[in-house]
Amino acid sequence: MKKILEGKKIAVIAESKFIPEEMQAYQTGFGLYGAQVDFVSRIWYGDYKPNSTIFYSDVDPSDQEPWQSPEKLTVEKDISAVTLDDYAAVIMSANYVSVRLRWSENTAFTDPRELVRSAPVARFFAEAMKRRDIVKGALCHGLWILTPYPELLKGRKVTCHTVVMADILNCGAEVVVKDADNGGKEPAKVVVDEDLITGFSKHEALPFIEAIAGAIVNRKRPCVHGD
pLDDT of the residue at 225: 46
- Using the predicted structure, report yes or no on whether residue 219 has a pLDDT greater than 80: no
Domain assignment present for 1 = no
Q: Report if residue 33 sits inside a domain.
A: yes
Residue ranges with strand state E in the chain: 9-13, 36-41, 53-56, 72-75, 77-78, 89-92, 135-139, 157-158, 174-175, 177-179, 185-187, 190-193, 196-199
The residue among 158, 138, 146 whose CA lies nearest residue 205 is: 138
Confidence bin at 45 (pLDDT 50/70/90): low
Percent of the chain with pLDDT over 70: 89
Q: Residue 102 sits in a domain of what CATH number? A: 3.40.50.880
pLDDT band of residue 68 (cuts 50, 70, 90) is low
Taking residues 164-192, report their average pLDDT: 95
In a domain, 177, yes or no: yes
C-beta separation of 200 from 140 below 8 A: yes
Is 186 inside a domain boundary? yes
Of residues 51 and 32, the one with the higher pLDDT is 32
- Count of domains forming the chain: 1
Residues 6+ apart with CB under 8 A from 55: 14, 15, 16, 18, 41, 72, 73, 74, 75
Any domain includes 105: yes
In a domain, 36, yes or no: yes
153-166 average pLDDT score: 98
Give the Cα separation of 90 and 146 in Å (integer): 13
How high is the pLDDT of residue 148?
Answer: 96
Rounded CA gap, 56 and 75, in Å?
Answer: 11
**pLDDT for 221:** 43
Residue, of 44 and 69, whose pLDDT is higher: 44
The model scores a pTM over 0.85:
yes
Specify if 224 maps to a domain: no
Q: Which tens digit of pLDDT belongs to each residue from 93-138?
A: 999 999 999 988 777 778 888 889 999 999 999 999 999 999 999 9
Query: How much is the mean pLDDT over the chain?
Result: 90
Domain range spanning residue 168? 9-217
Identify whether 3 is part of a domain: no
pLDDT of residue 208: 98
